[in-house]
Structure 1
Amino acid sequence: MDCSLYGISIEHEAGESGNALQTAAIQGSKDTVQLLLEHQVDVNAQGGYYGNALQAACRRGHRDIVILLLENQVNVNAEGGQYGNAFQAAAYTGHEDIVQLLLDHKGDVNAQGGYYGSALKAASRSGYQDIVQLLLDHKVNGNTRGEQHGNALEAAAYAEL
């Protein structure tokens, strides 16, 4: 399969942003994301700071791009990148609507990894009580421990400092 657009490789590693799809997701360019998907880029391509396009869009709060990626069979539970998974990226930055979208698409609320270890710890550390409650309502395990801030209660206490 030829994965080029106007002579430029669209799956080439692009440094911090990973690839062209991830770059477009970071920048919030829905039209570019749509164009790349129409040219059959790998919606689940890994690499870069955010790990994948879904995690980048979640971190930046680009809900319309998250929806577009979900409609194109992105792996909602893909791991990797700074935040470990899309849940953690959205929770850390307070995007409750995106956390709900991920829940609606069968995302794993107990996925671990990344800097904060879990979405619950990321939301707790950032002080987003509504997201913490949403995750608790969906049976998230509040006792998981990780390298940063121990468990969710310790992360919440750290946020109050």
Structure 2
Amino acid sequence: METKLFLILISFIFTLQSCEAQQNLNSSSAKMTKQDVIKAINQNDTIAVVNAIQRGFDINTIDDEGRSLLLLATIEGNYEMAKLLVIQGANVNQQANNKDSAFLYSGATGQTKLVELFLANGARFDIFNRYYGTALIPACERGHIETVKLLANTKDFPIDHINRLGWTGLMEAVILGDGSLKYQQIVQILKDADANMHIPDHDGITPLQHAEQRVFKEIVAIIKS
């Protein structure tokens, strides 16, 4: 009898401790500030972020630079965190003070898996970066082959968009690239996706002429073929 009472008492104590721990967790989560949530994003703490969202924290909250939680997760390269935020309704097109959005940034940094996620969740093609460029143009400049391939072959993507410098993705691959294999592949991808090979810059110089000036023989051959 005494043993039975003892076990009941122990069970009761554990139950009280469990309830107290849960109350502390709830209280802590309820008090999470914007900075707490941003810290959780940067540390890839999905549990803390889920708790904050469940308690009504605004999914599209921004930091002092206008960067959304989703953009911060994208900057950190945290795919699972970004996916969580997107599922919860984060805006993939929300722009920071410098015009970056999660979609534009993922393209510029060659995070193809994130680009694919954002394309499937409302990425817009009429929102541009601070150079009035698309997600494709900096991907071409930086040699992100898989990202270029994905975007260039996405239906209705503006493959021939011209930024305020007067350059298309093709032009940036030629002018800002080094003519190496990855840039040759990018030019070929753009050509195969029916990009216009002849759009000139503000000075009237075509991609072919720029490639010839830089003695990028392989790229010249691709453009001419």
TM-score, structure 1 normalization: 0.78
**Aligned sequence identity (%):** 24
The higher relative CO (CA closer than 8 Å, separation ≥ 6) is in: 1
Residue 196 (structure 2) aligned to one of 120, 127, 141? 141
1:45 aligns with 2:94: yes
- Count of equivalent residues: 157
Gapped regions of structure 2 (runs ≥ 5): 1-33, 38-51, 217-225
Cα 1:142–1:104 shift into 2, 3 Å: closer
Aligned equivalents of 1:155, 1:27: Cα separation in 2? 35
- Structure 1, residues 124-155: CA drift from partner, whole Å, max 9, x if none? 12131111111122222223233589432354
TM-score, structure 2 normalization: 0.58
**Map 1:6-155 → 2, pairs under 5 A:** 6=52, 7=57, 10-12=60-62, 14-15=64-65, 18-49=67-98, 51-82=100-131, 84-106=133-155, 107-115=157-165, 117-125=167-175, 126=177, 127=179, 128-147=183-202, 150-155=205-210
SS at match of 1:44: coil
When you count helix as a share of all residues, which structure comes out higher? 2
- Structure 1, residues 41-91: CA drift from partner, whole Å, max 9, x if none? 212212344632112111111111111111212124532334610110211
Aligned equivalents of 1:18, 1:154: Cα separation in 2? 39
Aligned equivalents of 1:121, 1:25: Cα separation in 2? 27
Aligned equivalents of 2:137, 2:76: Cα separation in 1? 19
Q: Which has the larger radius of gyration?
A: 2
SS at match of 2:107: helix
Gapped regions of structure 1 (runs ≥ 5): none
Give the alignment's Cα RMSD to 1 decimal.
3.0
Aligned equivalents of 2:189, 2:211: Cα separation in 1? 15
